[in-house]
Structure 1
Amino acid sequence: MAKIIGFAGYSGSGKTTLIEKLIPIFTGKGLRVSVIKHAHHRFDIDIPGKDSWRHREAGATEVLVASSHRWVLMHELRNEPEPDLDQLINRLTDPDIIIVEGFKTHPIKKIEVWRELTQHPRIAPNDPHVVAVASDKPTQDNLIQLDINQPQQIVEFILKLS
């Protein structure tokens, strides 16, 4: 069973940068890592004019592109509801660690990423699923404090979570 940990924080808080530092530490321990990132806006990973783009534009619901280096499955919702986090997790292939960026309101254990400089409000006071805060400055609450600049410390914390 994979360990699932979310990272929540406002745009510019450093979530992606932190996750980028954690992944090689996990993989260096021989763990398989999957990341689910929620985008609040329309996004595209395809290139206009390429065959896969043309297939999608023609109306294909799914287009799978494969090479000797990677494969990707693009699924067009075409007015279907957006899948929830549990449905997306079930599509992953046997990870040891699932890192979730976004999905702020989903009831999974989360680490809040907060930097004093951004002056954004804290998420933890309104989210009982926040189990720790990764920050550049200690916060005034009872949460476990993690140093955002010490990714090894954060990895060890995640691995010890039950």
Structure 2
Amino acid sequence: MKLYGVTGWKNAGKTTLMERLVTEITGRGLRVSTVKHAHHDTDVDQPGRDSFRHRQAGASQVMLASPRRWALMTELRDAPEPALEDLLPRLDPVDLVLVEGYKRAPHPKIEAWRAINGKLPLATKNDTIRAIAADGPVETGLPVLDLDDVVAVADFILSEVGA
């Protein structure tokens, strides 16, 4: 599977860019999956739901299945967080996996950057970042794309992965 990341500081537009990229790239006929890394404790389940109660009771894994989707939740129970490369084989094969976060992982990335954040681009200290999608000019030796030009960003990523 081809893999490409979207990274950046908080409130830089990563999730919006990811959403727009998925729409654009799937609209071109490619199959896309996503991985979102969260640095904080997160829960996709709801207290009181049957699946939540199963996990609270001590289940290591809970699979939730319905006519429209299924999900598998795995409780780490103090085990270390798995690395991205250990999670990717659990995905079904697709044309492209877009990864939000995992800024230190070795896969290639584009950085979402907004001047209003007042921070230097991550690209200044991260050589896995191949381009910056920005809301204005950025001093860098990397390609700088308009953050709102999702077609250009998608073209760049697909060119990078050879799709």
**In which range does the TM-score fall when normalised by the shorter chain?**
over 0.9
Q: Give the aligned partner of residue 55 of structure 2.
A: 56
Deviation at 1:30, TM superposition (A): 1.5
Distance 1:149 1:122 in 2: 17
Q: Give the aligned partner of residue 81 of structure 1.
A: 80
**Aligned partner of residue 90 in structure 2, secondary structure:** coil
- Match status 1:35 vs 2:34: yes
1:7-45: CA deviation from partner (whole Å, max 9, x where unpaired): 111110000011111111111111111111111111111
1:30-79: CA deviation from partner (whole Å, max 9, x where unpaired): 11111111111111111111110111011000000011111100000012
Distance 1:81 1:108 in 2: 21
Q: Give the aligned partner of residue 26 of structure 1.
A: 25
Alignment of 1:1-162 (within 5 A): 2-162=1-161
**Aligned partner of residue 26 in structure 2, secondary structure:** helix
Q: Which runs of 5+ in 2 are unaligned?
A: none
* Percentage identity across paired residues of the two chains: 45
**Aligned partner of residue 133 in structure 2, secondary structure:** strand
**Aligned partner of residue 90 in structure 1, secondary structure:** helix
Deviation at 1:121, TM superposition (A): 2.1
Distance 1:119 1:97 in 2: 32
Distance 1:80 1:118 in 2: 34
Deviation at 1:114, TM superposition (A): 0.6
Q: What root-mean-square deviation, in Å, do the aligned CA atoms of Structure 1 and Structure 2 show? A: 0.9
The number of residue pairs the alignment matches comes to: 161
